[in-house]
Amino acid sequence: MSALRALTVANIRSFVRDRAAIFWTLAFPILFVVLFGSIFSGNDATSFQVGWVDEDGTPGAGQLRSGFAGTGIVELTDGSREALLEQMRQGDLDAIVVVPAGVGQALDSATSGEPPATPVTLVVFTDPSQQTQSTTIQQIVSQVVAATNQVLSGRPPVLALETQSLQTDDISPAAYFVPSILAMALMQLGVFAAIPLVEQREKLILKRLSATPLRRWTLVGSNILMRLLIALVQSVLIVSIGALLFGVTIVGSIALVAGFIVLGSVTFISIGYVIASFAKTEESANSLTSVVQFPLMFLSGIFFPIEFMPDFLQPVAAVMPLTYLGDALRQVMVGGAPYAPLPIDALVLGAWLVGSFLISARFFRWQ
């Protein structure tokens, strides 16, 4: 067995047999997801705000409108396509239905027994990050369209439906906090790397290892590898619970999500090494990790948008690495509104990674 593999296995075994570590890295974030989810999932909307764009203007289109309004679960707002799209982006509308010009004429000709050769297509904009909502609205629209077609009994059908997605600022509370909790869990996993490291130094395990031919990079590599594996388990657990209990699914690229999970984990492991560079004893490592993790957690906008913070705290949040990990995960996972563009998120995390790496390379002591 190679030293890297043997050390990684040994680290994982030690980790799994340490109940406190298991609780903080696996049980605690899951508890958080379930707790937050139960608090926020009570506000299911009973009616949907739907924008109505009538580009046709004929009585036929007006009839279609009353058909929708008659379902009782949508509230229609009229307006131009541009204006309504903007409203939806800001989160004031859940969906938009666009009735193109020609609908009235097609309906008229269908009722007079001469259906058009090609159906006229209605367009529906929904936000896929709001999964339950967007499916419900799509169902309503397609039911109305199907009913219309049936009444006219026109073959081929008179109306067709096309759905388009639009990313909105307004994501559900569950969609907001699932990536946040994932980011928080990755942060804790990384920062907590300091504790076993200091423990192993204090108990002279690191010194004993340095009396063997083992290379130091193998030791560091195995620590990172082991934490990445745990990060993977954490991510799968948190994402599955988010999806199963609260319907929060990943809308973006899985590869990008994985990329940010790795980048974030490695960055926070580096910060853990910085803590281990300055903590002399296991106890001081424990308190130093708390000192580091709580401001990180609460000043980074992972639990509420940064705009809601007091003005004087916003610049603090703007330098916290967790702000950018949470932001990146939220954008990629649930299509949340960006705090910063993704490359900036990656850049800031990378800067923290390089900075902490240099500090620990300079100050970390093996004995």
Partner 1 sequence: MTDAQRGPGAGTAVIEAQDLRKRYGPVQAVDGVSFQVQRGEIFGMLGPNGAGKTTTVEMLEGLRKPDGGQALVLGIDVAREPDRLKERIGVQLQTAALYPNLTVTEVIDLFRSFYRQRRPTRELIAALDLTERKDALTKVLSGGQRQRLSVALALINDPELIFLDEPTTGMDPAARRSLWDLVLILKERGITVLLTTHYMEEAEQLCDRIAIMDHGKILEMGTVKDLVERRFQELSIRFDAVAGLDDDRLGALPAVTRVVHEDGEVALYTGDVAATIGGLLVATGELSQEPQNLAVRRATLEDVFLDLTGRALRD
Q: Is 210 in the site for partner 1 (CB under 8 A)?
A: yes
Q: Give every CB contact of residue 31 below 8 A, 6+ residues apart in sequence.
A: none
Q: Which is nearer to partner 1, 160 or 214 (CB)?
A: 214
| Least Cβ distance, residue 2 to partner 1 (angstroms) | 7
**Residue 208 DSSP label:** H
Q: Which of 80, 203, 313, 358 binds partner 1 (CB under 8 A)?
A: 203
Q: Is 2 in the site for partner 1 (CB under 8 A)?
A: yes
Q: Which of 204, 291, 313, 347 binds partner 1 (CB under 8 A)?
A: 204
Strand partners, 75: 49
| Least Cβ distance, residue 4 to partner 1 (angstroms) | 9
Q: Is 208 in the site for partner 1 (CB under 8 A)?
A: yes
Q: Is 42 in the site for partner 1 (CB under 8 A)?
A: no
Q: How far apart are CA 255 and CA 175, in angstroms?
A: 19
Number of Cβ within a 10 Å radius of residue 168:
23
Q: Taking CB under 8 A as the criterion, which residues in 143-172 touch partner 1?
A: none
Stretch that binds partner 1, among 124-132, 201-209, 237-245, 340-348 (CB under 8 A): 201-209
Q: Give every CB contact of residue 178 below 8 A, 6+ residues apart in sequence.
A: 33, 238, 239, 242, 246, 248, 333, 334
Stretch that binds partner 1, among 206-214, 257-265, 300-308, 344-352 (CB under 8 A): 206-214
Q: How far apart are CA 234 and CA 257, in angstroms?
A: 13
Stretch that binds partner 1, among 12-20, 35-43, 113-121, 263-271 (CB under 8 A): 12-20
Q: Is 255 in the site for partner 1 (CB under 8 A)?
A: no
How many alpha carbons lie under 13 Å from residue 199 in its C-beta half-sphere? 10
| Least Cβ distance, residue 280 to partner 1 (angstroms) | 16
Q: Residues for the chain: how many in total?
A: 367
Q: Is 20 in the site for partner 1 (CB under 8 A)?
A: no
User: Alpha helix locations (H) across 279-303?
Assistant: 282-298
**Residue 306 DSSP label:** G
Q: Is 23 in the site for partner 1 (CB under 8 A)?
A: no
| Least Cβ distance, residue 220 to partner 1 (angstroms) | 15
Containing 93, the helix (H) or strand (E) segment is none
| Least Cβ distance, residue 10 to partner 1 (angstroms) | 5
Q: How far apart are CA 201 and CA 194, in angstroms?
A: 10
Residue 358 identity (one-letter amino acid): L
| Least Cβ distance, residue 20 to partner 1 (angstroms) | 12
| Least Cβ distance, residue 301 to partner 1 (angstroms) | 37
Q: How far apart are CA 177 and CA 278, in angstroms?
A: 32
Containing 71, the helix (H) or strand (E) segment is none
DSSP 3-state of 274 = helix
Q: Is 13 in the site for partner 1 (CB under 8 A)?
A: yes
Helices 216-246 and 3-16, axial angle in degrees (round to 10) = 50
Stretch that binds partner 1, among 157-165, 173-181, 183-191, 210-218 (CB under 8 A): 210-218
Peptide bond into 156 cis (omega under 30): yes
Q: Which is nearer to partner 1, 10 or 151 (CB)?
A: 10
Q: Which of 73, 207, 233, 287 binds partner 1 (CB under 8 A)?
A: 207
Stretch that binds partner 1, among 6-14, 67-75, 180-188, 245-253 (CB under 8 A): 6-14
DSSP 53-68: EESS-SHHHHHHHHHH
Q: Which is nearer to partner 1, 18 or 92 (CB)?
A: 18
Footprint on this chain of partner 1 (rule: CB under 8 A): 1-3, 5-7, 10, 13-14, 17-18, 203-205, 207-214, 367
